[in-house]
């Protein structure tokens, strides 16, 4: 059965209102399309926990900075819709830019979560998390789901969204879903499509070095030495730049220097290989 597609807030709310009237719970899976198995794992989790699942498809211009890949970001709504139909999702919400930003992308209320969005990815991509927080707030308020599902690959994004939901008192449970990886360890990402064959062969070094840093830190090694080794490995493998690699407190994202088994910690990284800017992370406790 082909998934139903709606393109306006009014249509979205009409469908979800009907589900509510039938006493059904609603799960929301926000995406920018170019779907892969990682996205489908979010849909699968939502189907396990909710009666109805709505997937959103919107390439949000306000979270892309100058010179980033907004125009070239992969788009194939037909393929995405087919994948979602096969996965069992019930509704696809695919608005255009005018529907999401009626007064234009530069004349809009913005949501800013403060320091949590200013470090790491936020420092490398100024304004990125304001764009993310704004569009996710819009989607949550438009759909008002019981639960919303986000992948842990974008770990800082997940923390930002959890913060905005608390701060804005949006009545939704934010569910984080584990990273889906290729067999060689590379985190699944829509941007992996940018990699050439040689770059794809080198890309798993990103994950192996993150594991090296996490296990070394858990064993008591100094983070700075571990990070330096990780950067060396990536550059030797052909990565052109390393935006950041950090060992941080999982809740605050503040850097930490000493391992504490009772304090959840995470290693986060962003690096560029060819045209692809890749991110990854791992829990220190679970590595």
| CATH number of 127's domain | 3.40.50.620
CB 171 within 8 A of CB 164: no
Q: Is 129 left (phi over 0), alpha (psi -120 to 50) or beta?
A: alpha
Sheet hosting strand 26-31, strand order edge to edge: 4-6, 91-93, 52-57, 26-31, 147-151, 173-177
Helices in the chain by DSSP H: which ranges?
A: 9-21, 37-49, 77-87, 97-100, 121-124, 128-143, 155-167, 197-202, 205-218, 223-237
What CATH number did the domain enclosing 270 receive?
A: 3.30.1300.10
* Strand pairing report for 241-249 and 265-273: antiparallel
Give the Cα separation of 198 and 203 in Å (integer).
9
CB 93 within 8 A of CB 12: yes
Give the Cα separation of 150 and 29 in Å (integer).
7
Give the Cα separation of 15 and 239 in Å (integer).
46
For the chain, 287 residues long, the average pLDDT of each consecutive 10-residue run is 93 98 98 96 98 97 90 93 97 97 88 94 95 97 98 97 97 98 96 96 96 96 95 95 96 95 96 97 91
CB 245 within 8 A of CB 269: yes
Helix, strand, or coil here: 182? coil
Rg (CA), the chain: 19
Domain containing 125: what range? 4-177
Residue 38 resides in a domain: yes
CB 52 within 8 A of CB 91: yes
Residue 184 resides in a domain: no
Do residues 36 and 158 both lie within one domain?
Answer: yes
Do residues 116 and 241 both lie within one domain?
Answer: no
Do residues 149 and 258 both lie within one domain?
Answer: no
Give the Cα separation of 200 and 186 in Å (integer).
9
Helix/strand/coil percentages in the chain, nearest 5: 45, 20, 35
* Strand pairing report for 26-31 and 147-151: parallel
Rounded to 5 degrees, what angle do the CA atoms 83, 268, 203 make?
60
Quote the pLDDT of residue 106: 86
The reply to whether 39 belongs to the active site is: yes
Last residue in a domain, options 177, 200, 220:
177
Q: How many other CB atoms sit within 10 Å of the CB of residue 107?
A: 8
Do residues 45 and 103 both lie within one domain?
Answer: yes
């Amino acid at each position: 059965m082909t998934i139903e597609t709606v393109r306006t807030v009014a249509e979205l709310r009409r469908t979800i209102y009907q589900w509510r009237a039938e006493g059904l719970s609603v799960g929301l899976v926000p995406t920018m399309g170019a779907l892969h198995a990682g996205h489908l794992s979010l849909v699968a989790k939502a189907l396990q926990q909710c009666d109805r699942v709505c997937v959103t498809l919107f390439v949000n211009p306000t979270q892309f900075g100058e010179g980033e890949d907004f125009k070239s970001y992969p788009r194939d709504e037909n393929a995405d819709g087919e994948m979602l139909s096969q996965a069992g999702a019930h509704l696809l919400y695919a608005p255009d830019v005018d529907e999401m930003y009626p007064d234009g992308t530069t004349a809009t209320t913005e949501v800013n979560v403060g320091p949590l969005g200013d470090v790491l990815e936020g420092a490398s991509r100024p304004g990125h998390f304001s764009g993310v927080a704004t569009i996710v707030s819009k989607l949550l308020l438009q759909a008002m789901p019981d639960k919303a599902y986000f992948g842990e690959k974008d770990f800082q994004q997940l923390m930002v969204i959890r913060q905005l939901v608390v701060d804005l008192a949006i009545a939704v449970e934010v569910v984080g879903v584990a990273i889906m990886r290729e067999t060689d360890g590379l985190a699944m990402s829509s941007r992996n499509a940018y990699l050439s064959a040689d770059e794809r062969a080198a890309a798993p070094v990103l994950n192996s070095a993150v594991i090296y840093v996490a296990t070394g830190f858990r064993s008591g090694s100094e983070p700075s030495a571990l990070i330096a080794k990780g950067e060396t490995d990536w550059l030797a493998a052909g990565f052109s730049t390393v935006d950041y690699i950090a060992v941080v407190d999982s809740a605050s994202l503040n850097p930490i220097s000493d391992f504490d088994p009772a304090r959840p910690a995470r290693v986060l990284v962003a690096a560029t290989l060819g045209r692809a800017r890749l991110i990854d992370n791992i829990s220190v406790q679970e590595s």
